[in-house]
Structure formats: structure tokens, C-alpha cells
Structure 1
Amino acid sequence: MSLLRTAARASVATRVVGNVQRRQRQQWAAQDAAQAAAAAPVPAPAAAPSAVDTQQLIGQLQQLGQLRDAGVLTEAEFTAQKQRLLGT
């Protein structure tokens, strides 16, 4: 009789563990989907640059060019920073 009882308990335990794992996978998938939706970049409306912003941008680009010419920045680093400044 104890062998049948042990088998029945093992069967119930296996089913419970399987159900818990299934629910956890569903919850994690829902969380991942929510995080992916929240992480989607929302484009900001393009505002017309002011004269001050334009002058600052030109100054920063000139500084980057000087650093590249001096050998401080590689061409790839210069290009990456220029794209970051220009927002492209």
C-alpha cells in the first residue's frame, strides 16, 4: 500500500511543479513583452534649432575635428561622436 501512496504523491508533486513552471514562464514572457514595449524608443518631435544651439554645435564639431587631426580620436570615434551630436 505504501508503494501506491508514494507513486500517487510523486504524480501529484510532478503535476504541481509542472503547473508552477508553466505559470512562471507565462509571467516572465509577459514581463519581457512589457519591458520590450516600454524600451521602444519614442521619437521626440523635431524642434527648430536656435542660433545659440547651432553655434554650440558648430563649436563642438570643430573641437572634434581638432581632436581627430591631433590624433586623439580615431576616424571611427570621430564619426560616432559627430553622429551623436547631429542626432543621426
Structure 2
Amino acid sequence: MNNETKEQLQSLSDNMSNLNYDEILFRSNILLRSIELITLIKRIEPEDFDEMINGYAEVLRFYADDLKKISTIHVHDCMKINQKMLKILDEKD
């Protein structure tokens, strides 16, 4: 493998490591904490349980949709980078 190919692959590899995992982890953490909170509220069995749960369910839906969008974008970005790497390797063979 020549230096030009190595540099191209290194550049693509660097791009992969720059993808923003923090956003995915942040939203996943919010979803998990919300589920834990709902579980705790259910154990207490407050009179306004349904009203409280509906509020948290709305938050869960928002973050779940957001997480799905970000994850989908992330997967597509990884696939594009992978395709570029394979194309570079094929061209050099």
C-alpha cells in the first residue's frame, strides 16, 4: 500500500472517530433515566399517576424519536466512510 492510500485511509479513519457519539449517549441516558423515574413513580402509586406518566411519556417519545434520527444519520455516515475506504482499496489493487 503506498503512502497516498495510507493517508486517504487515515483521513477517513479520523473522520469516523470525529462522529458525535456524545449526542447518542446523552439521549440514551435521558431515556434510561426517564424509564427509571417512571418505575419509581409507579412504586409510590400517587393519585395523579396517569397525569405524571403522560408527561414523562411525552418526553420519552421526543428523545426516542430524536435518538432514532441521530442514530440513523450516524449509521449512514459510517456506511459512507466504509464505502469510501473500500473504493480506495479497490482502486489501488
Note whether the superposition's TM-score is higher than 0.5: no
Which of structures 1 and 2 has the bigger CA Rg?
A: 1
Q: Which has the higher contact order (CA 8 A, sep 6+)?
A: 2
TM tier relative to shorter chain: 0.3 to 0.5
Scaled by the length of structure 2, what TM-score is found? Answer: 0.43
Scaled by the length of structure 1, what TM-score is found? Answer: 0.45
Greater helix percent: which structure?
Answer: 2
